[in-house]
Amino acid sequence: MKKIREETVPYNTGWAADLQKGQVLRITATTTVDFVCFRRENLKERFDQARTKVYNMKIFITTGDKLMGRNNQHMMTIIENTNREGTHDLQKGMCSGYRFQLAKQEGKLRAYYHRDYKEDEIPDHGCYENLSRALAAYGIAPEDIPNPFNLNQHMKIDGATGRMEHTTVRAKPGDYVELRAEMNLLVALSACPDMPVGGKPVDIMIYEP
Ligand SMILES: [Zn+2]
Query: Is 90 exceeded by the pLDDT of residue 197?
Result: no
**Percent of the chain surpassing pLDDT 90:** 86
Q: What's the burial of 162, exposed, middle or buried (CB within 10 Å: 0-12/13-18/19+)?
A: exposed
Cα(193) to ligand 1 centroid in Å equals 6
CA–CA separation, 107 and 12 (whole Å): 23
CA 32 / ligand 1 centre spacing (Å): 7
Domain boundaries, given as residue ranges, for the chain: 2-208
For the stretch 104-163, pLDDT in tens is 999 988 888 877 888 888 999 999 999 999 999 999 999 999 999 999 999 999 999 999
**Per-residue pLDDT averaged across 28-43, rounded?**
97
If you measure from the C-alpha of residue 95 to the centroid of ligand 1, how many angstroms do you get, rounded to a whole number?
4
Give the burial string for 27-47 (b: 16+ CB within 10 Å, else e).
bbbbbbbbbbbbbbeeeebbb
H-type alpha helices, the chain? 49-56, 97-105, 109-113, 127-136
Ligand 1 midpoint to CA 155 (Å)? 14
**CB-CB contact of 207 with 22 (8 Å):** no
**pLDDT at site 106:** 93
Tell me the CA end-to-end span of the chain in Å, nearest whole number: 5
Q: In this predicted structure, which of 3-12, 93-102, 108-117, 138-147 has the lowest mean pLDDT?
A: 108-117
Residue-level pLDDT at 72: 94
What's the Cα-to-Cα distance from 24 to each of 76, 171, 199, rounded to whole Å? 9, 20, 24
Per residue in 54-89, pLDDT tens? 999 999 999 999 999 999 999 999 999 999 989 999
**Torsion over CA: 148, 199, 175, 110 (sign):** negative
In the reported structure, the alpha carbon of residue 34 is separated from the centroid of ligand 1 by a whole-number distance in angstroms of 6
Between the CA of 166 and the centroid of ligand 1 the distance, in Å, is 13
